[in-house]
Chains A and B, each alone.
Chain A
């Protein structure tokens, strides 16, 4: 980039730099955990305050929480099915809430005001580790859901409707977490980069519509991730006849 005299101090781009924390001989990305803890803390505060005094006639925060609960239940019920959706609703809901809070928190909170020695704070979902972790959890869950519901009959799914499907189904087991993680990671990172580049180039007005678009994308990505996770679990527990 060179050293342009117009580069503003808060509009610098840092991609792929991390704040490393050393735990034993493990290294972790500190900025991801810092933001995720703050956002999880906010989420838990909301939940604890909202469920403190629940009544049959909801008021205040209880309305919001019940709306969320209803939304997640509908999502889980339509994708997983009436029979086992209850078991998986907390997982799907946590995925949705965590990703949603991470995406929006990353976009709405002015993290860049906090200076870190290395890397910068942002959405936890803009780090590939987070999205791969979530995607692998989804993979584990649908395997667990299938095996615990149908036992070894779960593997009938691989040769359903014909054994020709076997290689495709096996490949699917790898592409599912891959696409899940990269979709989320790519969207959130791209959004952050687009906003950062636009702010870097034109620090006024122009980035605002892109920021709104980013909020929209963030919400949609959370919904897509949760819906697909529920769909995979639903596919695994579905009974073939």
Chain B
């Protein structure tokens, strides 16, 4: 039952070469062609198609990403510009309002000064005229008193 027919046996043995060898070789060659037609070619086509698809899609995506980046940069620049412009406008407006305030203040101050001066002048002139009046009146009155006194004598 457990016959270990190894070398040189007339029937069987581990190293028993016969027509199995060329037939097996032919079978494997045939299998190569069959597998090439049924397996390697179709699967290769699908895999390579997918690889191409992935490659082109990726390229496309890269291109789009670049475009997006360019647009983003553009927008960023625009935003920066707008911000700068707004800042400028604000500072200008602040300056303007400051100037206007100062001008108004100066005007108001000078007007107030002028009217005060006017008032003072008027007061002075009125006082002077009043004094003059008073003087002439008192002179007249003095004269009258003197005349009355003289005439009463």
Residue numbers of A with Cβ under 8 A of B are 1, 12-18, 23, 26-29, 32-33, 36, 40, 43-44, 47-48, 51, 54-56, 58, 62, 65-66, 69-70, 72-73, 89-91, 93-95, 97-98, 119, 124, 127-130, 132-134, 136-137, 189
Contact = CB atoms under 8 A, between A and B. Distances in A.
A1 B49 contact: no
Given A23-B19, A27-B19, A69-B40, A16 B13 contact: yes
B43 A32 contact: no
Contacts of A12: 1-2
B3 A14 contact: yes
Contacts of A48: 38
A56 B53 CA distance: 9
Nearest to A27: B18
A127 B20 contact: yes
Nearest to A48: B38
B63 to A, nearest CB: 22
B130 interface: no
Contact of B47 (A70, A132, A137): A70
A166 to B, nearest CB: 29
Nearest to A15: B4
A24 to B, nearest CB: 9
A40 B31 contact: yes
B58 to A, nearest CB: 15
A98 B28 contact: yes
B36 interface: yes
Given A56-B49, A56-B53, A130 B43 contact: no
Interface residues of B, number: 41
Interface in B8-60: 9, 12-25, 27-29, 31-36, 38-40, 42-44, 46-47, 49-50, 53
A93 B2 contact: no
Given A16-B16, A17-B12, A129-B18, A136 B39 contact: no
Main secondary structure of the interface of A (DSSP, over half): helix
A28 B20 contact: yes
Contacts of B6: 15-16
Nearest to B36: A90
A16 B9 contact: yes
A133 B25 contact: yes
B13 A137 contact: no
Given A47-B39, A66-B46, A133-B24, A16 B18 contact: no
A26 B24 CA distance: 13
Contact of A29 (B9, B20, B27): B20
Given A69-B44, A137-B28, A189 B14 contact: yes
A54 B46 contact: yes
A56 B4 contact: no
B32 to A, nearest CB: 4
A54 B42 contact: yes
12 contacts: A14-B3, A16-B4, A16-B5, A27-B18, A28-B19, A47-B39, A65-B39, A69-B47, A91-B32, A93-B39, A94-B31, A94-B35
A222 to B, nearest CB: 13
A128 B17 CA distance: 7
